[in-house]
Amino acid sequence: MYSIYLIMTTGRTGSDYLQACLDNVNGLMTFCGKFEYHNFLKENKKLNNEELIEKFILINKKAFSYDKIEDIDTRVDTEKLKKNFIDITKNKTITSKNFLVSLYEAYYCISQKNLKNAKALIHHSHGIENTRNCLKDYPDAKLFITIRDPRANLKSGLFNWFKFDRSRIHMSHIYSYIRRIREDLKYAISLKNEKFFLKLEEAGEIKIKKEICDFLNINYDRTIETATFNSKIWHGDILSLKKSNKGEYNESVKLNDWQKYFKSDELLFFNKIYSDYKKFGYDLPKLSMFEKVKLITLIFKKFSFEKETFSINLSFKKKISNYYYFIKRILYGLKLALIF
């Protein structure tokens, strides 16, 4: 049995970059892109193995062609993938546990790689729900958790998404993103599994890449220095303002300018609610008693980046929804400001 590793993100923190760096590393079974498979299997439990893989390929076609968000063409021979999967699962009853392994084996063999050399399976579970479901299948899985300065993370999650997709300019996106940066990390910290927290700011360092290989229990492989998907150079997703030329680490992620994006009063709020990030060396100043009292009143006000959601032309239904999530953000902020 292979060692199972999951990659979990806490926002825009470089989980795709980590996955891409592991793409060509000897002995690792990886996949192009992220996918959910537990709900997929529940919804298609009546299908036989051949029908199941056909449906999976259809639903996840961007993993086998052009992925608009990741901005890369990862085309593979899906007929060969299908044949490999059918051969591997012959006379097997599909479960969520053996489906994942069989799928990765089938994908790994497309490029004539020998399964005898495979040492570990790296699955990008991405968010909390998928990670939790995967851990039910593989309770001893080891985890990579990608993190970033939470203020830079939030700025990227708001500014970049708003620039790319104007339908995201809504309080629902702001509320969920503010929450996930805190709650995803808290969930990751709570897990008893072996974990490797990878800071995006350090992800390009050779020293860190060697530590990643040690965590994977493999020899250092220089292919980890180049980000690829299906052996094709990955330049960064479509939201990235600056691209990587040859799959190298993009130093521009360190120049996020979050200090200019947020107001000083807003940073009081973030320094308070994201205090868990101090464990990883991020500088989030402790609030004075005066700042804590001031914070209570600030929570009721619209933040600078929230005001845009109220200024754009929305339908009546979306306006109501916008205020609904604004109230949720206020209540969430009050809860955190008052309990610790």
Give residue-wise pLDDT tens across range 114-146. 888 999 999 999 999 999 999 999 999 999 999
Q: Confidence class of residue 248 from pLDDT cuts 50, 70 and 90? A: very high
Predicted local confidence at residue 63, as pLDDT:
87
E-only strand ranges, 51-194:
66-67, 72-73, 120-126, 142-147
Mean pLDDT of 255-276: 94
Give the list of residues 6+ apart from residue 244 with CB closer than 8 angstroms, or none: 227, 234, 235, 236, 250
The share of the chain scoring above pLDDT 70, in percent, equals 99
Q: Confidence class of residue 113 from pLDDT cuts 50, 70 and 90? A: confident
In the beta sheet, which residues pair with residue 260?
none
Q: pLDDT digit string (tens) for 53-79?
A: 999 999 998 888 888 888 888 888 999
- Judged against a pLDDT cut of 70, whether residue 285 lies above it is answered with yes
Predicted local confidence at residue 226, as pLDDT:
97
Q: Confidence class of residue 339 from pLDDT cuts 50, 70 and 90? A: low
- Cα 284 → chain centroid: 23
Q: pLDDT digit string (tens) for 83-102?
A: 999 999 998 999 999 999 99
E-only strand ranges, the chain:
3-8, 28-29, 66-67, 72-73, 120-126, 142-147, 195-199, 228-229, 232-233
In the beta sheet, which residues pair with residue 7?
144
| Average pLDDT taken over every residue of the chain | 94
Mean pLDDT of 322-340: 91
Q: Confidence class of residue 315 from pLDDT cuts 50, 70 and 90? A: very high
Predicted local confidence at residue 265, as pLDDT:
93
Predicted local confidence at residue 163, as pLDDT:
87
* Cβ neighbours around 270 below 10 Å, total: 22
Predicted local confidence at residue 195, as pLDDT:
98
- Judged against a pLDDT cut of 60, whether residue 340 lies above it is answered with no
Written as six digits, the tokens of 98 are: 């053996």
Mean pLDDT of 148-156: 97
Residues of the chain with CATH 3.40.50: 3-253
Q: Considering the entire predicted model, what is its pTM?
A: 0.94
Nearest CA to 153 among 308, 12, 336, 263?
12
Q: How far apart are CA 25 and CA 213, in angstroms?
A: 9
Quick one: fold of 3-253? Rossmann fold (3.40.50)
Give the list of residues 6+ apart from residue 264 with CB closer than 8 angstroms, or none: none
Written as six digits, the tokens of 55 are: 């449906």
Q: Confidence class of residue 179 from pLDDT cuts 50, 70 and 90? A: very high
- Cα 319 → chain centroid: 29
The share of the chain scoring above pLDDT 90, in percent, equals 81
- Judged against a pLDDT cut of 70, whether residue 180 lies above it is answered with yes
Q: Confidence class of residue 9 from pLDDT cuts 50, 70 and 90? A: very high
- Judged against a pLDDT cut of 80, whether residue 172 lies above it is answered with yes
Torsion of CA 82, 88, 92, 96, to 10 degrees: -70
CA distances 328 to 167, 173, 269, 309, Å, are 20, 12, 15, 15
